[in-house]
Structure 1
Amino acid sequence: MDTIFAQATVMGRAGVAVVRVSGPAAFEVGRSLAGSLPAPRQSAVRSLRDAEGALLDRALVLCFEGPHSFTGEDVVEFHLHGSIAVLRAVLRYIGEFPECRLAEPGEFSRRALENGRMDLVQIEGLGDLIEAETEAQRKQAMRGLSGKLTERVEQWRSDLIRAASLLTVTIDFADEDVPVDVSPEVAQLLNGVLKSVDEELAGVNAAERIRSGFEVAIIGPANAGKSTLLNALAGRDAAITSEVAGTTRDVIEVRMDLGGLPVTFLDTAGLRETEDSIEKIGVQRAVERSSAADLRIFLSEEGEDLIVAPEPGDIHLKPKADMRKDKAGAVSGKTGEGVSQLIGDIQSILSVRVQDAGLATQERHRIALLHARESLISAIAMASAGPDQYDFAAEELRLVIQALESLIGRVGVENFLDEIFANFCIGK
């Protein structure tokens, strides 16, 4: 197997730049550069020199002996001064070793998976942690990385294997009297797993929303102050505002951290009939994006008919509170009146929607759980039909276990791996 290397920190000038080397020649490369290596899992400062003995840098060096490393292989890390020139010199030197090559995106993590250091759900959690922008995303990613979903799957698997073994005993001794009726325990085990799987499935949508973020659309008639409100929420001039109706032609997006939740606010074109071909496209996009949004803020007068109808849970406010005597139920992006209350209302609504978020966070997880559930329901029906159906029930349980093992990456996930690791940086 090749020895791989890459910069593990962000490109460009920095206080520190880390170069990681993993594979059978990692220690050889490390000794060639540093002269000697510290004991595994300890650090030491070394002078790094090229083949002619020229000093490249003074660096902190760490090494990890496989399989007790991130990748499960021998690993050496060089913590360099964050100079672009130093980094290039060290990478150039390592690349001259015939057994070394530059790592592909996510290849260090892929080797961790292949060497049993992490399962696929943990790898996905690691990817989510790297991409996390908000506190809610960080916490959710850490649950995946720490193996919480894997622990739950292992418990399901244990219960399913127990149920299958009970059914198999009955099948093997079909011509003899089995002293104990196994059907009550089998039913209890299978129904318990089904209940837990259903609970996990119910939380997938909320978990996906934490991972990808919510969209909140600000909609209303032309010149209702939507862009001004967006600017107030963003704390900057994200959208052009004017007294001329129809100024906003396209959907303007502003991504924010709202109470730890990732939220993208959408400023949309004013909803009105128009003969302007460009504005008409903007209105159509406004309808499409607002219809797909997780939450809509309507800025309009009471009883005003709009192309988009409010849905349960949407927020309705009167526009331009600064120009009203009765400011109840109104908001103004110009003066900030009602903006804090609006932010609090949005946070409350979205927080309720994610409170039941499960450990399964991705579409791949949902599909695997649905496949497991389908076979599990069949197994329950067959097991309840009596001993004549136990062999079919046992086969369905094998399919349930297979679906769950695909969830954590033990079987049948080869088609997903390239896509998953393509989203990682090269040094990870």
Structure 2
Amino acid sequence: MDTIYALASATGKAGVAVVRISGPLAHACLSHFGVERPALRKAALRRLVVDDVLVDEALVLCFPEGASFTGEAVTELHLHGSVATIRATLAALSKIAGLRLAEPGEFTRRALENGCLDLAQVEGLADLIDAETEAQRRQALKVLSGALGEKAERWRTDLIRAAALLEATIDFADEEVPVDVSPEVLELIDRVSDELKAESKGSYISERIREGFEVAIVGPPNAGKSTLLNALAGREAAITSEFAGTTRDVIEVRMDLNGLAVTFLDTAGLRETEDHVEGIGIERAIERAKHADLRVFLSADEGGFRGLKPEEDDIQVSGKSDISGKPGVSGKTGDGVSMLVHNISSILSERAQGAVTATHERHRVAIDQGIEALESARLEVLRGEERAELAAEELRSVVRALDSIVGRVDVEHLLDEIFASFCLGK
């Protein structure tokens, strides 16, 4: 196997830059710099010299095989973080026989192949790298810690137990089985099924935390939508004017709202119009608003607009309160904006409480496949012992679906796509 190397810290000028080397030659390659390997897992200051030229004075840290991120022998060079130093170090490594630059995500891929991480943990690590808010960070760390893998293993154990009980009745089909196994089998199936259904339902919220919630600001023309968006963004994100139909497309502003990633959508004013371009904007506004997680209606009209009606939790408030004099919100003066933000934050935070450890659509698809197979298994068990073999096969299908979550089976086609999102140093 090749020994790989890459810059593991951010590119550009920094106080410290970390170059990671992993593979069979990770420790031996230090001799190329005229350096003896320091004691394992203990940092040591070393002068890195190539062809009698000092490259840098760096901290060198070595990890043994089986006790590193990748599961292989690993060396880390903690350099002074100048662009020139990084470039010189990487150039020196490129000249060592048996070493090559890592591909995107290759360090993490080796960790997966060596059993240091399961596939769900790999996705958790990718989410942690991309995390922008506190909620995203906490959720990603939970998945990276192996919480989903632990659940999958528990479900797997219960299902294997249920299948083993059924297969016992098959093995002794010609003899009298002293105990009816169906009550225990049904109990195991029902327990796993209930947990899978809860996980599937909560995965939608987990996915929203990972990708961000969407809040659409909707209402008639000149209701103060764009001015409110600018007030929320703290900048001129949308053009405002007294002329109806100024906003023709959906304008997005992404924010961190009480630890949650939230994208506010400023939509075209909803009204009947003969202007073709404005009409397209209105249709887009309605479509985006329908799919948003929450809508803020800037109007006192409880009937909604053109078929877009307030749903549970949607907020209705009068806009331009500085002009109308009515209680409401004004993006121009800031009146009511803090209360509106508080209400939005409270609603989304309450929803976020339903988050689970399944955070990707891939997880949910596998879980839903498992739920469907469990329903079939349950029906086969209820039909009697002569259907035990069919019930056991359905349970094995559930196990295969759950195994795909953590990468035990049938995920090779996903790996390239997953690791393509990683940087070289991961």
| Partners of 2:174 and 2:409 in 1: CA distance | 36
Does the 8 Å CA contact 1:302/1:318 hold for their aligned counterparts?
A: no
1:326 aligns with 2:320: no
Residue of structure 1 in register with 2:416 after alignment: 418
Deviates more, 1:144-153 or 1:374-383: 374-383
Q: Which runs of 4+ in 1 moved over 4 A?
A: none
The question of whether the paired residues in 2 share the 8 Å contact of 1:380 and 1:393 is answered with yes
TM-score by length of 2: 0.96
Task: Tell me the CA shift for residue 311 of structure 1.
Answer: 2.8
- More deviation, 61-70/352-361: 352-361
What residue in structure 1 maps to residue 256 of structure 2?
257
State the TM-score, normalized to the length of structure 1. 0.96
- For 1:277 and 1:55, how far apart are their aligned partners in 2? 68
Aligned to 1:112: 111
Displacement of 1:275 in angstroms is 4.0
SS of alignment partner, residue 79 of structure 2: strand
The superposition leaves residues 332-385 of structure 1 with CA deviations (integer Å, 9 ceiling, x where unpaired) of 011111111101111121122222111111110011111111211111111222
Q: Residue 381 of structure 1: SS of its match in structure 2?
A: helix
- Code of the residue aligned with 2:123 in structure 1: it is E
Is 1:74 paired with 2:91? no
Q: Is the 8 A contact 1:34 1:46 kept in 2?
A: no
> Counterparts of 1:109-188 in structure 2 under 5 Å?
109-188=108-187
Q: Displacement of 1:112 after TM fit?
A: 0.3
Worse-matched range after superposition: 62-71 or 236-245? 236-245
User: Which position in structure 1 is the counterpart of 2:387?
Assistant: 389
Percent of aligned positions with the same letter in both sequences?
Answer: 59
**Distance in 2 between the 1:75 and 1:305 partners?**
61
Equivalences, count? 425
User: Are 1:7 and 2:19 counterparts?
Assistant: no
2:31 is equivalent to residue 31 of structure 1? yes
- Tell me, yes or no, if the aligned pair for 2:104 and 2:424 is still in contact at 8 Å: yes
2:348 aligned partner = 350
Within-5 A mapping of 1:233-382: 233-302=232-301, 306-312=305-311, 313-327=313-327, 330-382=328-380
Instruction: Identify which range, 125-134 or 23-32, moves more after superposition.
Output: 23-32
Q: 1-side partners of 2:216 and 2:274: how far apart?
A: 24
**In structure 2, C-alpha distance between the alignment counterparts of 1:204 and 1:220, rounded to whole Å:** 31
Partner SS, residue 78 of structure 2: strand
What is the deviation of 1:303? Answer: 5.8
Deviation at 1:302, TM superposition (A): 2.9
Deviation string for 1:282-335 (max 9, x for gaps)? 3232222222211111112436763352231211111111113332xx100111
Q: Which whole-Å deviations, capped at 9, do the CAs of 1:19-64 have from their partners, x for residues lacking one?
A: 11111111122232251121111111111111x1210011111111
Asked if structure 2 preserves the Cα contact closer than 8 Å seen for 1:9 and 1:18, the reply is yes
Structure 1 residue 244: Cα displacement: 2.8
| C-alpha distance in 2 between matches for 1:322 and 1:95 | 66
Q: Deviations over 1:384-428 (max 9, x none)?
A: 222111111111111111111111100000011111111111110
- Structure 1 residues 302, 168: closer, same or farther in 2, change over 3 A? closer
* Structure 2: gaps spanning 5 or more residues: none
Does structure 2 conserve the Cα–Cα contact (< 8 Å) formed by 1:291 and 1:308? no
Unaligned runs of 5+ in 1: none
Query: Is the CA contact 2:290–2:308 (under 8 Å) kept in the aligned structure 1?
Result: no
